Structure 1
Amino acid sequence: MNHKLQQSWPMPSAPRPIVILGTGGIVADAHLPAYRKAGFTVAGLYDLDRSRAEALAAQWNVPQAFDTVEEAAAADAVFDIAAPPVAHREILEKLPEGAAVLLQKPMGLDLAAATAIRDICRKRKLTASVNFQLRYSAMMLAIRDAVRQGRLGTLTEIEVRINLATPWHLFPHLKSNKRVEIVSHSIHYLDAIRALVGEPESVFARSFDHPSGELADTRTSMILDYGPTLRCLLSINHQHDFGRRFQEASFRVEGLEGAAIAKLGVLLDYPAGEPDALWLVERGKDWEQVPLAGTWFPDAFIGPMANLQRFAAGEDTVLSTHVEDAWRTMALVEAAYRSGDQSGMSIPRP
């Protein structure tokens, strides 16, 4: 059953040039490699640190490094805002009304910021999407297609298990954040789960700080309530630094008639990573490994841009991670944090 599952997003018939605002590590590691692979033209780069933008432009043969946001915004292009979330509102205010925009995730650091971003996009009539790219990865598109075709039957289980050592030193900007793990990492899984099965009724969550005290939350236990039939949970531990043997990064979806398990390879030995993998099974048959047409990093970064450009051109009827939909992912993140702030049910004592 594994050779007829969607694994990529259709490409726009007439791709527009892209201007990227922000040239941090994610641009060099994912955006630019993905866009080159897709055949997209990157017309220019902008960064507060012009020398960094110039160096990256030279490395990737991008023709221009802009001096100001205003100069970048004047380009006839689709805008990829890869700056930190705290800068998104200011940049959005300077883009031309009606522009097509892709925002790096998260959509702000909390729901208030997400709401402000959504409202700016409404006010300026922006065609805006958020780069929740995991749902566009080959493995997740294939799982979603298998679910859509009914090949797994009625879903009974979704489980995300992360037990590995994340090199937090690569993300020094997170040290000052009051929220880290859910809004920066598990947000991908929450968005991908929403893409599969919609909105949960409620969420129960508890996050735990980095053991050293240098960061806020880096470990999370979470249950999403989808009623009495579908069990949905996340067990996230970024501090298992005892060698590769028992490290794990998996996304399991199980139904009455079949199951799928994806290995999120990029997370293992990040940023070098390991290959992604996807296994599928039908009841009564053997597990089959699905050959994947791409990886989460960088290939999945093609999908959000392709969807945005096709939607802006009228070729797609749905913008999958539209800011209106992304706001709902942020609302789920906010609910998870609020759940963690509340005391659990006390245990009766004799």
Structure 2
Amino acid sequence: MAIPYGWVFTILTVAGAVFPATVSCLYVDTGNPYDPGKLQVSSFVLTSIPDGIPKRAVVYHPTEPGDYAVMFFVPGLGGFVPSFLYDNFLANVSTHGYIVASSAWFVPTFGQDTKSRLPTFGRDMDSPSGKGIMSLFPEEDGEDNLKASRSDTYWKVLIWLQENLATVLSSRAPGVQARFDHLGLSGHSAGAGEIYSIMMRNTSLAQAAVFIEPANRVPEPIDFYLPGLMFGTEYGEETPACNGQGFDFRQNYENWQCPRAMSNVKGFGHCDIMSPLGWNLCRLVNFCKTVPETDLTKYHMFLQGYTAAFYGTYLQNNGDMLKYVTDQDRIPIEFLEFKTDVNC
């Protein structure tokens, strides 16, 4: 019987992907990633007072002591969507052996972050500005300055977590260790743009990236090694659209390098990643296209499994997970587009 974590001395070769032998006690998920993970998960919130973190963050972690890879996540609209609306997705990924930290710019509490507010809704995604989803941000806020401020803040949050999360976990989750040498970066929608900015500050900081319906451009081909997964949904670019061609997963994929994977999920939309409250808010304000018959449970199980399989391959160094990314027969959802380039 395979043990979930322990000493690893093997060289894994799957579909041409070779992983060097390592000595590690890192937790390695060995189940089907599209099933619920084996681990129990808890969470806590970090705030500037009293914790000292530059921006509020939510941390999801396995309760079982052990060493775990880390996923850093920025929500949609560049972090203006609160982290708790992604609770189902983030917690489910954590059950597969990840410490997941999500930091959002907008915090829905009174008396805090009074300068942060949701952007004005209803602007045309195909605006002449050519800025895609970033055209949603009001001009009076100084769009360029606001974006620079957000990117800088998320960078500082991630560095703070690298330097301080071990101390926090020692008191809140004794025995749980965050392995930032196995770091994955992830973002939804314009949050993927913030992740791209972090990635470009230090191209060796992370070991993999997952862009979920990215609403940003990768302006030129990357010239460094970073496994990348990027995917969108059928309804994401249909009216009312929350993605636009040229600011999407296809453009990101074309400017990535091997190993990379790309897909377009049939029958789902941009808000379907969110917990039921977030999805219903999207439907209520008609911000992104939603359909009433959406099976959120099916999509959430796919989403957490797709992410866990990719990170399992490149963060947990489990080459057996790659088949759950590259073999459509093993993926419990239908795609309109599907590409992989992993035989580097």
Shorter-normalised TM range: 0.3 to 0.5
Structure with the bigger RCO (C-alpha within 8 Å, sep 6+) is 1
- Structure with bigger gyration radius: 1
Q: TM-score, normalised by structure 1?
A: 0.34
